[in-house]
Structure 1
Amino acid sequence: MNPVVKSALAGVVALAGFAPVQSFAQDASCTCATAYQGVGPIGSIGHVDGDVMISQVAGYGPAQAGGALDFGSRVVVGGKGSASVHVGGCNLSVPANSTLDISRVENKICLNVLGSEQTAQTGGSNNNNNTPLYIFGGMALGAGILAATADKDHGVSQ
Protein backbone atom coordinates (compact mmCIF):
# COMPACT_ATOMS: atom_id res chain seq x y z
CA MET A 1 0.00 0.00 0.00
CA ASN A 2 1.25 3.50 -0.83
CA PRO A 3 2.91 5.24 2.21
CA VAL A 4 0.84 8.39 1.61
CA VAL A 5 -2.39 6.38 1.71
CA LYS A 6 -1.21 4.56 4.85
CA SER A 7 -0.54 7.91 6.53
CA ALA A 8 -3.95 9.24 5.49
CA LEU A 9 -5.67 6.12 6.78
CA ALA A 10 -3.78 6.35 10.09
CA GLY A 11 -4.85 9.98 10.38
CA VAL A 12 -8.51 9.09 9.82
CA VAL A 13 -8.32 6.37 12.48
CA ALA A 14 -6.66 8.79 14.91
CA LEU A 15 -9.31 11.44 14.29
CA ALA A 16 -12.05 8.89 14.92
CA GLY A 17 -10.65 8.51 18.43
CA PHE A 18 -11.34 12.19 19.09
CA ALA A 19 -14.91 12.20 17.75
CA PRO A 20 -17.63 13.03 20.30
CA VAL A 21 -18.90 9.96 22.09
CA GLN A 22 -21.38 11.56 24.45
CA SER A 23 -24.15 9.16 23.55
CA PHE A 24 -22.00 6.18 24.57
CA ALA A 25 -20.69 7.57 27.86
CA GLN A 26 -22.73 7.15 31.00
CA ASP A 27 -23.45 10.42 32.68
CA ALA A 28 -22.18 9.97 36.24
CA SER A 29 -23.45 13.35 37.47
CA CYS A 30 -25.77 13.07 40.41
CA THR A 31 -28.40 15.48 41.61
CA CYS A 32 -27.41 14.33 45.09
CA ALA A 33 -24.79 11.79 46.22
CA THR A 34 -24.48 10.23 49.65
CA ALA A 35 -22.29 7.58 51.25
CA TYR A 36 -23.40 3.95 50.99
CA GLN A 37 -23.62 2.29 54.40
CA GLY A 38 -23.96 -1.28 53.12
CA VAL A 39 -27.49 -1.84 54.35
CA GLY A 40 -30.79 -2.14 52.53
CA PRO A 41 -33.20 -0.68 51.86
CA ILE A 42 -31.17 2.45 51.28
CA GLY A 43 -34.04 4.94 51.56
CA SER A 44 -37.75 5.61 51.45
CA ILE A 45 -40.43 7.71 49.82
CA GLY A 46 -41.38 10.68 51.97
CA HIS A 47 -44.64 11.90 50.47
CA VAL A 48 -46.65 11.15 47.35
CA ASP A 49 -49.15 13.48 45.73
CA GLY A 50 -51.00 12.64 42.52
CA ASP A 51 -49.68 10.39 39.76
CA VAL A 52 -46.47 8.75 41.07
CA MET A 53 -45.19 5.30 40.09
CA ILE A 54 -42.22 3.28 41.36
CA SER A 55 -40.35 0.44 39.70
CA GLN A 56 -40.92 -2.94 41.28
CA VAL A 57 -39.86 -6.50 40.54
CA ALA A 58 -42.91 -7.08 38.32
CA GLY A 59 -42.86 -3.66 36.63
CA TYR A 60 -44.23 -0.34 37.81
CA GLY A 61 -46.79 0.12 40.54
CA PRO A 62 -48.28 3.03 42.48
CA ALA A 63 -45.86 4.65 44.90
CA GLN A 64 -46.83 4.99 48.56
CA ALA A 65 -45.39 7.17 51.32
CA GLY A 66 -42.94 5.08 53.36
CA GLY A 67 -42.21 2.74 50.44
CA ALA A 68 -38.69 1.31 50.39
CA LEU A 69 -36.07 2.40 47.86
CA ASP A 70 -32.99 0.46 46.79
CA PHE A 71 -30.41 0.50 43.99
CA GLY A 72 -32.14 0.43 40.63
CA SER A 73 -35.31 2.02 41.98
CA ARG A 74 -36.97 4.53 39.70
CA VAL A 75 -39.65 6.98 40.77
CA VAL A 76 -41.72 8.40 37.91
CA VAL A 77 -43.90 11.43 38.57
CA GLY A 78 -46.67 12.33 36.12
CA GLY A 79 -47.90 15.72 35.02
CA LYS A 80 -50.14 16.21 38.05
CA GLY A 81 -47.97 14.76 40.77
CA SER A 82 -45.03 15.25 43.11
CA ALA A 83 -43.01 13.17 45.54
CA SER A 84 -40.15 13.40 47.99
CA VAL A 85 -37.50 10.82 48.81
CA HIS A 86 -35.08 10.31 51.68
CA VAL A 87 -31.86 8.42 50.94
CA GLY A 88 -28.90 8.79 53.31
CA GLY A 89 -28.12 12.50 53.56
CA CYS A 90 -30.22 13.32 50.48
CA ASN A 91 -33.75 14.66 50.81
CA LEU A 92 -35.05 15.38 47.33
CA SER A 93 -38.28 16.66 45.86
CA VAL A 94 -39.32 15.06 42.59
CA PRO A 95 -41.55 17.52 40.70
CA ALA A 96 -44.21 16.86 38.07
CA ASN A 97 -43.02 15.30 34.77
CA SER A 98 -39.77 14.06 36.35
CA THR A 99 -38.00 10.80 37.02
CA LEU A 100 -35.68 9.89 39.88
CA ASP A 101 -33.11 7.14 39.26
CA ILE A 102 -31.10 5.58 42.08
CA SER A 103 -27.79 3.93 41.27
CA ARG A 104 -24.47 3.10 42.84
CA VAL A 105 -21.33 4.93 41.73
CA GLU A 106 -18.31 3.41 43.48
CA ASN A 107 -19.07 3.63 47.21
CA LYS A 108 -21.76 6.27 46.89
CA ILE A 109 -25.48 6.31 46.28
CA CYS A 110 -26.30 8.48 43.29
CA LEU A 111 -29.74 10.07 43.00
CA ASN A 112 -30.41 11.66 39.64
CA VAL A 113 -33.56 13.67 38.96
CA LEU A 114 -34.35 14.08 35.27
CA GLY A 115 -37.04 16.68 34.84
CA SER A 116 -39.21 17.96 32.05
CA GLU A 117 -36.54 20.50 31.01
CA GLN A 118 -34.17 17.67 30.03
CA THR A 119 -36.95 15.79 28.27
CA ALA A 120 -37.94 18.87 26.26
CA GLN A 121 -34.37 19.37 25.03
CA THR A 122 -33.96 15.89 23.61
CA GLY A 123 -36.22 16.57 20.64
CA GLY A 124 -35.56 20.29 20.20
CA SER A 125 -33.22 22.26 17.97
CA ASN A 126 -30.62 22.46 20.77
CA ASN A 127 -29.79 18.78 20.29
CA ASN A 128 -26.17 18.76 19.08
CA ASN A 129 -25.67 15.01 19.03
CA ASN A 130 -24.09 14.37 15.64
CA THR A 131 -22.81 10.88 16.46
CA PRO A 132 -24.83 9.13 13.69
CA LEU A 133 -23.50 11.66 11.19
CA TYR A 134 -19.92 10.99 12.30
CA ILE A 135 -20.42 7.23 12.11
CA PHE A 136 -21.91 7.39 8.61
CA GLY A 137 -19.22 9.82 7.43
CA GLY A 138 -16.47 7.58 8.81
CA MET A 139 -17.95 4.54 7.09
CA ALA A 140 -18.21 6.40 3.78
CA LEU A 141 -14.66 7.72 4.10
CA GLY A 142 -13.32 4.27 4.96
CA ALA A 143 -15.13 2.72 1.98
CA GLY A 144 -13.71 5.42 -0.29
CA ILE A 145 -10.16 4.83 0.94
CA LEU A 146 -10.52 1.07 0.52
CA ALA A 147 -11.87 1.50 -3.01
CA ALA A 148 -9.06 3.91 -3.93
CA THR A 149 -6.33 1.67 -2.55
CA ALA A 150 -7.63 -1.66 -3.83
CA ASP A 151 -4.94 -3.58 -5.68
CA LYS A 152 -6.75 -4.37 -8.92
CA ASP A 153 -3.70 -5.87 -10.67
CA HIS A 154 -2.98 -8.63 -8.17
CA GLY A 155 -6.36 -10.17 -7.46
CA VAL A 156 -6.66 -13.66 -5.96
CA SER A 157 -8.77 -15.11 -8.75
CA GLN A 158 -7.94 -14.20 -12.31
Structure 2
Amino acid sequence: MNLVVKSALAGFVVLAGFAPVSSFAQDGSCTCATAYTGVNPIGSIGNVNGNVMVSQVAGYGPAQAGGALDFGSRVVVGGKGSASVNVGGCNISVPANSTLDISRIGNNICLNVLGSEKTAQTGNSTGSSNNNTPLFIFGGMALGAGILAATADKDHGHAVSD
Protein backbone atom coordinates (compact mmCIF):
# COMPACT_ATOMS: atom_id res chain seq x y z
CA MET A 1 0.00 0.00 0.00
CA ASN A 2 1.45 3.35 -0.92
CA LEU A 3 1.86 6.26 1.47
CA VAL A 4 -1.10 8.24 0.10
CA VAL A 5 -3.53 5.37 0.65
CA LYS A 6 -2.14 4.71 4.14
CA SER A 7 -2.50 8.38 5.03
CA ALA A 8 -6.05 8.50 3.69
CA LEU A 9 -6.96 5.38 5.64
CA ALA A 10 -5.49 6.85 8.84
CA GLY A 11 -7.45 10.05 8.22
CA PHE A 12 -10.65 8.06 7.83
CA VAL A 13 -10.05 6.27 11.13
CA VAL A 14 -9.47 9.61 12.90
CA LEU A 15 -12.55 11.10 11.24
CA ALA A 16 -14.66 8.13 12.35
CA GLY A 17 -13.69 8.95 15.91
CA PHE A 18 -15.60 12.23 15.63
CA ALA A 19 -18.84 10.51 14.54
CA PRO A 20 -21.61 10.41 17.14
CA VAL A 21 -21.92 7.37 19.34
CA SER A 22 -24.65 5.17 17.94
CA SER A 23 -27.89 4.81 19.81
CA PHE A 24 -28.00 1.12 18.97
CA ALA A 25 -26.75 0.34 22.46
CA GLN A 26 -29.85 -0.88 24.20
CA ASP A 27 -30.01 1.69 26.95
CA GLY A 28 -33.75 2.31 26.65
CA SER A 29 -33.44 6.05 25.97
CA CYS A 30 -35.70 6.51 22.96
CA THR A 31 -37.09 9.80 21.70
CA CYS A 32 -40.12 7.76 20.65
CA ALA A 33 -40.83 4.03 21.04
CA THR A 34 -43.54 2.04 19.29
CA ALA A 35 -44.46 -1.64 19.12
CA TYR A 36 -42.91 -3.75 16.36
CA THR A 37 -45.67 -5.53 14.45
CA GLY A 38 -43.45 -7.64 12.18
CA VAL A 39 -44.05 -5.47 9.11
CA ASN A 40 -41.07 -4.58 6.89
CA PRO A 41 -40.17 -1.93 6.00
CA ILE A 42 -41.08 -0.55 9.41
CA GLY A 43 -41.60 3.05 8.31
CA SER A 44 -40.92 5.79 5.81
CA ILE A 45 -39.57 9.28 5.36
CA GLY A 46 -42.37 11.85 5.32
CA ASN A 47 -40.98 15.20 4.20
CA VAL A 48 -37.44 16.21 3.23
CA ASN A 49 -36.18 19.79 3.10
CA GLY A 50 -32.59 20.77 2.38
CA ASN A 51 -29.56 18.55 3.01
CA VAL A 52 -30.84 15.18 4.29
CA MET A 53 -29.09 11.82 3.86
CA VAL A 54 -30.27 8.31 4.76
CA SER A 55 -28.30 5.12 5.26
CA GLN A 56 -28.78 2.55 2.52
CA VAL A 57 -27.32 -0.85 1.71
CA ALA A 58 -24.37 0.72 -0.16
CA GLY A 59 -23.80 3.60 2.29
CA TYR A 60 -25.49 6.98 2.51
CA GLY A 61 -27.62 8.54 -0.21
CA PRO A 62 -29.99 11.48 -0.58
CA ALA A 63 -33.22 11.03 1.38
CA GLN A 64 -36.48 11.12 -0.57
CA ALA A 65 -40.05 11.51 0.68
CA GLY A 66 -41.65 8.07 0.82
CA GLY A 67 -38.28 6.31 1.16
CA ALA A 68 -38.43 3.07 3.18
CA LEU A 69 -36.86 2.78 6.63
CA ASP A 70 -35.93 -0.37 8.55
CA PHE A 71 -33.97 -1.36 11.65
CA GLY A 72 -30.50 0.17 11.49
CA SER A 73 -31.60 3.07 9.30
CA ARG A 74 -30.05 6.43 10.08
CA VAL A 75 -31.35 9.79 8.84
CA VAL A 76 -28.75 12.60 8.92
CA VAL A 77 -29.96 16.19 8.57
CA GLY A 78 -27.54 18.98 7.64
CA GLY A 79 -27.40 22.54 8.91
CA LYS A 80 -30.09 23.90 6.61
CA GLY A 81 -32.32 20.84 6.44
CA SER A 82 -35.20 19.10 8.13
CA ALA A 83 -37.07 15.84 7.72
CA SER A 84 -40.04 13.99 9.13
CA VAL A 85 -40.17 10.26 9.78
CA ASN A 86 -43.20 7.99 10.24
CA VAL A 87 -42.59 4.67 12.02
CA GLY A 88 -45.46 2.85 13.70
CA GLY A 89 -47.09 5.27 16.13
CA CYS A 90 -44.13 7.66 15.98
CA ASN A 91 -44.26 10.73 13.75
CA ILE A 92 -41.04 12.63 14.38
CA SER A 93 -39.64 15.86 12.98
CA VAL A 94 -35.85 15.72 12.69
CA PRO A 95 -34.39 19.24 12.98
CA ALA A 96 -31.26 20.69 11.38
CA ASN A 97 -27.87 19.37 12.54
CA SER A 98 -29.25 16.15 13.98
CA THR A 99 -29.37 12.42 13.36
CA LEU A 100 -32.22 9.94 13.81
CA ASP A 101 -31.28 6.32 14.54
CA ILE A 102 -33.75 3.44 14.36
CA SER A 103 -33.12 0.31 16.41
CA ARG A 104 -35.00 -2.57 17.97
CA ILE A 105 -35.21 -3.09 21.71
CA GLY A 106 -37.13 -6.27 22.48
CA ASN A 107 -40.47 -6.05 20.69
CA ASN A 108 -40.27 -2.27 20.34
CA ILE A 109 -38.93 0.06 17.69
CA CYS A 110 -36.73 2.77 19.20
CA LEU A 111 -36.32 6.09 17.37
CA ASN A 112 -33.65 8.32 18.85
CA VAL A 113 -32.81 11.87 17.77
CA LEU A 114 -29.18 12.83 18.47
CA GLY A 115 -26.96 15.84 17.99
CA SER A 116 -29.43 18.67 18.33
CA GLU A 117 -30.02 20.65 21.48
CA LYS A 118 -33.70 20.21 20.72
CA THR A 119 -35.18 16.73 20.55
CA ALA A 120 -38.02 15.58 18.34
CA GLN A 121 -40.42 18.40 17.55
CA THR A 122 -43.80 18.66 15.96
CA GLY A 123 -43.29 22.18 14.61
CA ASN A 124 -40.62 24.09 12.74
CA SER A 125 -37.18 24.36 14.30
CA THR A 126 -35.63 27.79 14.67
CA GLY A 127 -32.25 28.80 15.94
CA SER A 128 -28.78 27.86 14.88
CA SER A 129 -26.08 25.47 15.95
CA ASN A 130 -22.45 25.02 15.01
CA ASN A 131 -22.58 21.21 15.13
CA ASN A 132 -20.46 19.80 12.30
CA THR A 133 -21.40 16.15 12.88
CA PRO A 134 -23.25 15.74 9.54
CA LEU A 135 -20.25 17.29 7.77
CA PHE A 136 -17.93 14.75 9.41
CA ILE A 137 -20.26 11.89 8.49
CA PHE A 138 -20.57 12.96 4.84
CA GLY A 139 -16.83 13.60 4.60
CA GLY A 140 -16.04 10.23 6.13
CA MET A 141 -18.34 8.45 3.70
CA ALA A 142 -16.77 10.24 0.73
CA LEU A 143 -13.27 9.49 1.98
CA GLY A 144 -14.17 5.84 2.55
CA ALA A 145 -15.55 5.55 -0.99
CA GLY A 146 -12.35 7.11 -2.34
CA ILE A 147 -10.18 4.68 -0.39
CA LEU A 148 -12.22 1.71 -1.60
CA ALA A 149 -11.94 2.92 -5.18
CA ALA A 150 -8.18 3.50 -4.86
CA THR A 151 -7.49 0.10 -3.32
CA ALA A 152 -9.88 -1.97 -5.46
CA ASP A 153 -8.35 -5.06 -7.08
CA LYS A 154 -8.21 -4.04 -10.73
CA ASP A 155 -6.90 -7.48 -11.81
CA HIS A 156 -10.05 -9.23 -10.52
CA GLY A 157 -8.13 -12.02 -8.83
CA HIS A 158 -5.53 -12.79 -11.51
CA ALA A 159 -2.34 -14.17 -10.04
CA VAL A 160 0.70 -11.94 -10.04
CA SER A 161 3.98 -13.68 -10.76
CA ASP A 162 7.15 -12.79 -8.88
Give the TM-score of the pair, scaled to structure 2.
0.56
Instruction: Confirm or deny: 8 A CA contact 1:102 1:110 kept in the other structure.
Output: yes
Which structure's residues are more often helix, by fraction?
1
Which structure's residues are more often strand, by fraction?
1
Specify the SS of the correspondent of 2:50. strand
CA drift of 1:115 comes to 2.9
Change in Cα spacing, 1:78 to 1:120, as seen in structure 2 (3 Å) is closer
Instruction: Confirm or deny: 8 A CA contact 1:95 1:115 kept in the other structure.
Output: no
Calculate the aligned-residue CA RMSD, in Å. 2.1
Q: Relative contact order (alpha carbons < 8 A, sep ≥ 6): 1 or 2 greater? A: 2
Partner of 2:28: 28
Give the TM-score of the pair, scaled to structure 1.
0.58
**Corresponding pairs, count:** 97
Counterpart code for 2:72:
G
After superposing on structure 2, the runs of 4+ consecutive aligned residues of structure 1 that deviate more than 4 Å are 118-121
What fraction of aligned residue pairs are identical, expressed as a percent? Answer: 84
- 1:48-100 deviation per Cα after TM superposition (whole angstroms, max 9, x unaligned): 00000000011000000000000000000000000000000000000000000
Structure 2 runs not aligned, ≥5 long: 1-24, 119-128, 132-162
Partner of 2:99: 99
Partner of 2:19: none
Counterpart code for 1:89:
G
Partner of 1:115: 115
Instruction: Name which one, 1 or 2, has greater alpha-carbon Rg.
Output: 1
Instruction: Confirm or deny: 8 A CA contact 1:28 1:105 kept in the other structure.
Output: yes
Instruction: Confirm or deny: 8 A CA contact 1:45 1:69 kept in the other structure.
Output: yes
